Amino acid sequence: MSDRPDFQPSTLVIHSNRSYEKQSNSILFPIHQTATYIHESVGVTKGYGYSRGANPTVNALEQAIAAIEGTEYALCFRSGMSAITTLCLALLKAGDHVILSDVIYGGTARLFHQVLENFAVEYTYADTSSVEATEQAIRPNTRLIFIETPANPTLKLSDVRAIADLAHSHENILLAVDNTFLTPLLQNCLSLGADISMLSTTKYIDGHNATIGGSLATNNAEHTERLRFVRKIIGSIASPFDAWLTLQGVKTLPARLAMHCSHAGQIAKWLEDHPRVARVYYPGLDSFPQKALAEKQQKAFGGMLSFELKASTEDSLHFIEALKLCTCAESLGSVETLITNPATASHCDIPLETRQRLGISDHLIRLSVGLEAPQDLIADFEQAFARIFPTT
Ligand SMILES: *Cc1c(COP(=O)(O)O)cnc(C)c1O
């Protein structure tokens, strides 16, 4: 956005969408809850024709997302999955090949496996934490590399810069990154060389479990045009009300992320030192094998961690059930601390053998560390440990 002043992201998320509504001078951008727009004379509009194509409140959110992405363009969608679906429908055709990170969001895997496969879009998984393995997966018809870093739920990292260089050393291969776990404030994928940054705004961007939404950001005008066109055709644009709620959430994103990272760092250390904990996966820990890569491409280590107890799967699940403050629920990135068992939730339809190869054990526990006081969360873990393992 060429008229965007040169402010820091924490300023831009608050002021990029200030209201210029003259009737009342409301400080918040209004919800334009409308299906259509009046023509001033036949065929003459103010740029808005029908809300399946564009809507001012959605546009305000897009400006805020573009501000934090540092991109020329951002588009908002009804869900993270509809952002990915629109991306695939807009930029792929039958016969094209896509490389996916082997550890990836379950919905993304299902989209390729159970939907796009019917439309003759080819895909293969690669261990994108290895540039060599990714390179070996490239075929003459590869058009897109779609990676997730840190990956859900093992937090395995892929080197965005190296994979972007690999993609761009071939004609016609784009790199898209699902950056939901960190957001562009903690990992700016476009500046690391990616072509498209994808977010499930449901998570940290909204931050309050109030909406389902997604976004795509890019500096490519042609891709934006095509994505906007397909979004209008299939009707995957965000709703005005969801966009408005997300606009309120994004204003506190910088403040929330700082707390999420600080709390997650404290909980990760505490868990790692606990005698009943076998292993903690958190990129900020010295024990994390890819800590150096995290330091290179991330501005902080994020609010997500996973861990395994020295216990059976059954006892691990009982441990989750014994927690009182941490809430067992899908999703992540909200003010509430959320805990899941990926093997029975998000990754339940991945065959056991594959899950084991990818390091997603049946007793792995994923934690999205919220904004509650860390000592209260630790006290909750302590009471759950005492209840499930009375002898330690
Ligand atoms: C939640 C999530 C998605 C899908 O987003 P929805 O908003 O639920 O459609 C995609 N990728 C990751 C990493 C996610 O966590």
**pTM, rounded to two decimals:** 0.96
Nearest-angstrom CA–CA distance, 145 and 124:
10
Ligand 1: distance of its center to the CA of 325 in Å? 24
What is the reported pLDDT for 347?
Answer: 80
What is the residue with the minimal CA distance to atom 1 of ligand 1? 200
Catalytic residue among 52, 161, 276, 279: 52
* Model confidence at 231: pLDDT above 50: yes
3-state SS class at 307: strand
- Residue 223 amino acid letter: H
Atom of ligand 1 nearest to the CA of 82: 9
Q: Is 178 one of the annotated active-site residues of the chain?
A: yes
Ligand 1: distance of its center to the CA of 203 in Å? 8
What is the residue with the minimal CA distance to atom 7 of ligand 1? 80
* Strand 365-368 with 304-309, pairing: antiparallel
pLDDT-derived band at 349, boundaries 50, 70, 90:
confident
Ligand 1: distance of its center to the CA of 146 in Å? 14
pLDDT exceeding 70 applies to what percent of the chain? 98
Nearest-angstrom CA–CA distance, 81 and 107:
7
Q: With contact defined as beta carbons under 8 Å apart, do 160 and 187 qualify?
A: yes
Nearest-angstrom CA–CA distance, 151 and 358:
11
Mutate which of 77, 79, 81 to test ligand 1's pocket (most atoms within 8 Å of Cβ)?
Answer: 81
Q: Residue for token digits 């959110």? A: 61
Ligand 1: distance of its center to the CA of 79 in Å? 8
Cβ–ligand 1 contact at 202 (below 6 Å) = yes
What is the residue with the minimal CA distance to atom 11 of ligand 1? 105
- Tell me which residue of 373, 370, 363 sits closest to 327, measured CA to CA: 370
Q: Is 73 one of the annotated active-site residues of the chain?
A: no
Cβ–ligand 1 contact at 347 (below 6 Å) = no
For residue 255, the Cα-to-chain-centroid distance in whole angstroms is: 18
Nearest-angstrom CA–CA distance, 382 and 122:
48
Q: With contact defined as beta carbons under 8 Å apart, do 215 and 100 qualify?
A: no
Cβ–ligand 1 contact at 76 (below 6 Å) = no
Cβ–ligand 1 contact at 154 (below 6 Å) = no
Q: Tell which phi-psi region holds residue 294, choosing left (phi > 0), alpha (psi between -120 and 50) or beta.
A: alpha
Q: With contact defined as beta carbons under 8 Å apart, do 64 and 14 qualify?
A: no
**pLDDT tens-digit profile of 29-77?**
999 999 999 999 998 999 999 999 999 999 999 999 999 999 999 999 9
User: Which H or E run contains 302?
Assistant: none
* Model confidence at 378: pLDDT above 50: yes
Q: How many residues make up the chain in this entry? A: 392
Mean pLDDT score across all residues of the chain: 95
Nearest-angstrom CA–CA distance, 206 and 199:
11
Averaged pLDDT, 218-244:
98
pLDDT-derived band at 5, boundaries 50, 70, 90:
low
Quote the DSSP letter at residue 111. Answer: I
Walk me through the domains of the chain, giving residue ranges and CATH numbers: 9-250 (3.40.640.10), 254-388 (3.90.1150.10)
**pLDDT tens-digit profile of 166-213?**
999 999 999 999 999 999 999 999 999 999 999 999 999 999 999 999
- Tell me which residue of 257, 258, 279, 276 sits closest to 268, measured CA to CA: 279
pLDDT-derived band at 148, boundaries 50, 70, 90:
very high
- Residue 237 amino acid letter: I
Q: Is 22 one of the annotated active-site residues of the chain?
A: no
Contacts of residue 69, Cβ cutoff 8 Å, sequence gap at least 6: 184, 188, 190, 197, 217
Residue 124 CB-density burial (10 A; 0-12 exposed, 13-18 middle, 19+ buried): middle
Nearest-angstrom CA–CA distance, 63 and 283:
31
Catalytic residue among 96, 102, 178, 380: 178
Nearest-angstrom CA–CA distance, 198 and 178:
5
pLDDT-derived band at 2, boundaries 50, 70, 90:
very low
CA-angle at 219, arms to 215 and 75, nearest 5°: 25
What is the reported pLDDT for 386?
Answer: 96
Distance in Å from the first CA to the final CA of the chain: 58
Kindly state the tokens that stand for 339: 């805990």
- Tell me which residue of 211, 200, 239 sits closest to 31, measured CA to CA: 239
Averaged pLDDT, 366-390:
97
Q: Among 23-27, 103-107, 195-199, 312-316, where is mean pLDDT lowest?
A: 23-27
* Model confidence at 18: pLDDT above 80: no
Q: Is 105 one of the annotated active-site residues of the chain?
A: yes
Distances (CA, A) of 32 to 199, 238, 330, 351: 23, 12, 30, 45
Q: Residue for token digits 């009300």? A: 241
Kindly state the tokens that stand for 128: 């994108």
For residue 99, the Cα-to-chain-centroid distance in whole angstroms is: 18
Cβ–ligand 1 contact at 200 (below 6 Å) = yes
Nearest-angstrom CA–CA distance, 182 and 223:
24
Catalytic residue among 73, 105, 123, 282: 105
Ligand 1: distance of its center to the CA of 80 in Å? 5
pLDDT exceeding 90 applies to what percent of the chain? 87
